[in-house]
Amino acid sequence: MASIKAMPGVQTIYALTATTATHSINFTNAANYKGIILIVESTAETDTAVVTPAIEVPDGNGGWEAIWTAAVAISSVATTDYLIYPGATDGNFTEVDGSIMPRVGRFTFTHADADSLTYTVTCQWLK
């Protein structure tokens, strides 16, 4: 499982890769960023590939609990962008959610089947 530290500016958290299985990227938000712009850019899709991004936090018992899950799965070549920021309700994004970013957590990309979706994930941490 990959791990990242929240950094200022635009940060690639998942390099462009053809992906067929669910995976997670742990993060540490040591600078206490309040929100994030998360961009998933898919460039190739085979058959009926479907992936759903989420943000999860540890539940204290060795498991993980989703605090945000994209409302619509990604199932085609597209640029999909999400704004997650306290109180956010609008913007020119695929989806906006008024949640706050946790101190530690992980980004999880859940694949519905073994079909391949090629994508990269970048983020910008917001104060």
How many domains would you assign to the chain?
A: 1
CATH number, domain at 66?
A: 2.60.120.380
Write down the pLDDT at residue 109: 98
- Global pTM reads 0.94
Are 107 and 22 in contact by the 8 Å Cβ rule? The answer is: no
- Cα 2 to Cα 108: distance, rounded to the nearest angstrom: 11
The one-letter amino acid code at 9 reads G
| Tens-digit pLDDT profile for residues 28-47 | 999 999 999 999 999 999 99
Structural domain including 77 reads: 2-126
Phi, psi angle pair for 33, to nearest 5°? -65, 140
Name the average pLDDT for the chain: 96
